[in-house]
A and B are shown apart, each in its own frame.
Chain A
């Protein structure tokens, strides 16, 4: 019970007064030097709905960081436009270290290549803090599909062009683009069937309405373990620790194939280097100690970490790579 009385305070008159002072104080203090940082709560904008992987990561890290920084870390879900709304909000926020963004492969690598009009620039408008986590996608098929490995799937798709359908969580998602890249590199034809998010897509895959999916690993993994789906390969550059016997697509049949989904912490560009350094240090500590580290790993999510520079380099490479994939896939959002 103690945990709750702390989180659900009963507002007395004095608390209101304090809140009021706090708001005024916040306005005045925004120009304060960085050695006082942080002197008020920090918000992390998550551009995706509560309960998703990006949200879980932000809440986990936020919790641990808030203990080290001795300030509240508030998670704010600002969904919409494939993550662009939340990312844009962060880009246009004051670069004082009190607004951060849990960016993803979508907001900082795919969307800039997909949307003809972007409200923000993924490189110029942001100061990378650290990479947070990455996960491969999983190539899964319905058990009725007569293919036990990638080569057999390619042979099947070649023998019956257009007969197989692959589900995705929507246009321009990693699930969609991973499928398009597969089609291109294997020289096969499959029909793309977009859904609104992962859950309905996996439901139809398990129900056998569609045959193939390049799903984010956490949901499909459970269906694979229960024997409801058959996993053929992971899409990443290396095998996944949760399914070590499963080859990568590159090993199995398509050398050079590599797709991962990733998550990273950003601040608006112009944030002072001292603050970025502090945040990077705390985030890395949080990533190392987060008490759900093992639980996330069990689901195929690998916690990352590293320096802002490493993250910036990684992101630039990803922007180029996805630019090519998006162009070749013909995927569009307008």
Chain B
């Protein structure tokens, strides 16, 4: 009953005209910046912080939170339409979403992404309401050893991501790991592969790599295949998903929501892992995994649900403990401070109207996003019929502005272009960039946690198998490895026998 009372308090706060308006403003801005490639929620929230001085704290936080999860919705739009992932979580959406767009099915892809996100958002909000405090404790059970084992699992899952040659996938993961090493080593403070450039001291940004490898390389590749571009525009079919599409996606949405919500709670890499994990799972449970990467709708529905669920549950550590799980949450801490709320474990009890009001607003925000986004699908798809010579230079320009805005750094733009050419090379060599990106994200975290775990165990490597959670993750990883490798080996042997 306390739950209902809390919910009522939340909706009382969130449903005032003013707060609904700010919620709408937030998700609208979020959608907008999500659609603009590269311009992320961090830059936007930072710029809007001073503008919120004059607002009541609840309204300000409702709006800022709206920008964050609104951007998750918007981010999938460019990923699907033009193969430009705005942030880590939409990289996997590119794989099948862009393939669908090329087949003229951008509409259904966008619609499924929006509906899946709405469902995931609703469920994740419910989870927040019911289990936020106990779930926060989960973050504490995850020490360095557990993180390391989780990253191992993630890397093995990365192999499943690829649909081409196994060797290529492994090579790309390793290349990603190497790129991830660039920058100052957390444990010793040593600079690695920085070539004396202070701009590389903190490593290369994820968006820089993703934007180059996916977006820019695709633009370069498109220039040489004029015929295909025109085909894409010719056969845009229906805007909305068919009955078969929905039938194929609903289970993927459920699974994606579960995975995303769970991983979103973990500070650090959790939210990123969510969409990758959801994609891997969909590919594994599919009857015909070969459809993935060629426009399988489950490959859009699962990850999109996962990333939205994760976006909501990543508020758990912030709201219940006052500990930010990522850069956006760190900004929310700043916003709370400005408004005289000290983020910490007491927010829930001392400022219940803020805590429950924000949670209730997230559900309202998700509803607003669906209402806002479904009608927009038609407009986005029309955008594809803008002549290539106008559309793509514009996208390129916006992307460069976006990359620059990340860190106000011109070197980042140059690096993104370099990765664009590298990505073009990968297209020619038939190597997929997705495993590289996962290696790039997970590698540094894996190394950091491996060394930290060993430091804390005073050099005893058994720590990874004596801690039950860590052991469980490693067992799952080993099982996954067997599932991946055995069929591949068998196929090779069959080929060998045939010769």
Contacts and interface: CB of A to CB of B under 8 A. Distances in A.
B330 interface: yes
B190 interface: yes
Given A171-B189, A209-B456, A331-B189, A199 B324 contact: yes
B31 to A, nearest CB: 15
A40 B342 CA distance: 35
Contact of A193 (B54, B189, B342, B452): B452
Contact of B342 (A3, A81, A203, A299): A299
B482 interface: no
Given A50-B331, A52-B334, A59 B268 contact: no
A329 to B, nearest CB: 12
A315 interface: no
Interface in A218-259: 218-219, 221-223, 225-226, 228
A228 B140 CA distance: 12
A171 B188 CA distance: 7
B164 interface: no
A193 B455 contact: yes
A4 B25 contact: yes
B346 A225 contact: yes
Interface string B183-215: 010111111000000110110000000000000
Chain A, interface size: which category? 35 or more
A143 interface: no
A88 B409 CA distance: 13
Contacts, number: 166
A207 interface: yes
B443 interface: no
A203 B54 CA distance: 32
B49 interface: yes
A140 B10 CA distance: 35
Contacts of B335: 51
Contact of B337 (A119, A223, A295): A295
B455 A191 contact: yes
B71 to A, nearest CB: 15
A289 B363 CA distance: 38
Contacts of B327: 49-51
A225 B324 CA distance: 18
Contacts of B346: 222, 225-226
A152 interface: no
B321 A52 contact: no
Nearest to A1: B21
B408 A202 contact: no
B321 A7 contact: no
A55 B334 CA distance: 9
A296 B325 CA distance: 22
A162 B140 contact: no
A100 to B, nearest CB: 15
B60 to A, nearest CB: 10
Given A56-B334, A84-B198, A202-B323, A298 B143 contact: no
Contact of A51 (B141, B191, B334, B345): B334
Given A219-B322, A332-B189, A292 B407 contact: no
B202 A79 contact: yes
A199 B330 contact: yes
B345 A334 contact: no
A165 interface: yes
B407 A209 contact: no
Interface string A199-214: 1101110111110000
B68 to A, nearest CB: 13
Contacts of B458: 162, 191
Interface in A161-186: 162, 165, 170-172
B345 A49 contact: no
A76 interface: yes
B245 interface: no
B134 interface: no
B180 to A, nearest CB: 13
Nearest to B191: A334
B343 interface: yes
A80 B345 contact: no
A49 B140 contact: no
Interface string B429-471: 0000000000000000000100010011010000000000000
Interface in A34-72: 49-52, 55-56, 59-60, 62-63
Contact of B323 (A50, A203, A299, A332): A203
B53 interface: yes
Contacts of B323: 199, 202-203, 206, 219
A78 interface: yes
Contacts of B184: 81, 171, 333
B46 A77 contact: yes
Nearest to A171: B189
B334 A222 contact: no
B371 interface: no
A77 B43 CA distance: 9
24 contacts: A3-B53, A3-B54, A7-B48, A49-B327, A51-B46, A56-B334, A56-B337, A56-B338, A75-B46, A76-B408, A77-B46, A81-B199, A119-B198, A165-B455, A171-B188, A191-B456, A193-B456, A196-B448, A207-B141, A209-B456, A219-B322, A298-B342, A331-B189, A333-B191
Given A77-B408, A199-B324, A210-B456, 19 more contacts: A3-B55, A52-B330, A55-B334, A60-B338, A62-B50, A75-B46, A79-B407, A81-B201, A119-B198, A165-B455, A171-B187, A194-B187, A195-B452, A196-B448, A202-B323, A207-B143, A221-B344, A292-B338, A333-B189
